[in-house]
Amino acid sequence: MGLPEADAATKAWFVAWLEGFSAHVRAVDYASARPLFHPEILAFGTHQDVLPSLEAWVNTQWDNVWPKTDDFRFTIPETHVLVSDDGSMVVVIAPWTSTGFHPDGAPFDRPGRATIVFHKSAGGWRGVHSHLSLNRGVPQSSHGNRPVKAR
């Protein structure tokens, strides 16, 4: 028996979600990305251990990454969307790419991987857990300096 992969329509919806979220990351637009996640999300990543809320995630992980990197995109052909039997939870597993910057401004490839868990409620699908981290051997720090479009 294989993994509980989503049907084509469900996968397409979550792929569109990933594309929208990555556009917000590229634009450094926190305000537009916030509604995609539950306010009490449990998130962690390269820069932080488990963070207990969206605000904590924004103020640490997002602030440490989004303005300092560029060209964030999920690798859609390698993305998996798994659905619970009752259809109330989805797990998206997706590699991603981005550009980091050395202290002298020179760019470097900054790939990683993501797991995002979604819960469906009356308000629709929202992320309740996120883990984005860099691949092994990728420099942890990036020194870009892009402005935050909207908090």
pLDDT in tens, the chain (151 residues): 799 999 999 999 999 999 999 999 999 999 999 999 999 999 987 766 899 999 999 998 999 999 999 999 999 999 999 999 999 999 999 999 999 999 999 999 999 999 999 999 888 999 999 999 999 999 999 999 999 999 9
State the residue for tokens 């859609």: 76
Q: What is the pLDDT of residue 47?
A: 64
Size of the chain in residues: 151
Is 139 a domain residue? no
Distances (CA, A) of 39 to 51, 103, 140, 150: 11, 34, 27, 17
The residue range of the domain holding 66 is 8-134
Q: What is the pLDDT of residue 122?
A: 86
Token pair for residue 42?
A: 């449990």
Is 3 a domain residue? no
Distances (CA, A) of 27 to 33, 44, 69, 78: 10, 21, 11, 23
Token pair for residue 33?
A: 């990305």
Distances (CA, A) of 83 to 80, 92, 129, 135, 147: 10, 9, 15, 25, 37
Is 34 a domain residue? yes
Which parts of the chain are beta strand (E)?
37-45, 70-74, 80-83, 89-101, 107-109, 112-121, 124-134
Give CA–CA dist 36/124, Å, rounded.
10
Is 50 a domain residue? yes
Give CA–CA dist 42/21, Å, rounded.
17
- Counted domains in the chain: 1
Q: Give the CATH number of the domain where residue 80 resides.
A: 3.10.450.50
Residue 2: φ, ψ to 5° = -85, 180
Global pTM reads 0.95
Q: What is the pLDDT of residue 59?
A: 92
Is 149 a domain residue? no
Give CA–CA dist 29/23, Å, rounded.
9
Is 30 a domain residue? yes
Is 18 a domain residue? yes
